[in-house]
Amino acid sequence: MRLQANLDVYNVLNANTILAINNTFGGQWRRPTSILDARLVQIGGQLTF
């Protein structure tokens, strides 16, 4: 039997980079509307026999 474990980490150094901003003049002008997604962790494994 063989057990293989996996750990994947995505976007570890997330800096909350702004992807889109509101360019319409007014109270919400230059307000971020979209930022880089949060960090993700995926855990998995495979058992072979």
Query: Which residues partner with 21 through β-bridges?
Result: 32
How much is the pLDDT for 37?
82
Compute how many other C-beta atoms are within 10 angstroms of the C-beta atom of residue 22.
13
**Cα 34 to Cα 11, 38, 43, distances in angstroms:** 16, 12, 27
pLDDT tens string 4-31:
999 999 888 878 889 999 999 999 999 9
Strands 2-10 and 40-48 turn out to be antiparallel
Is the pLDDT assigned to residue 36 strictly greater than 90?
no
How much is the pLDDT for 8?
95
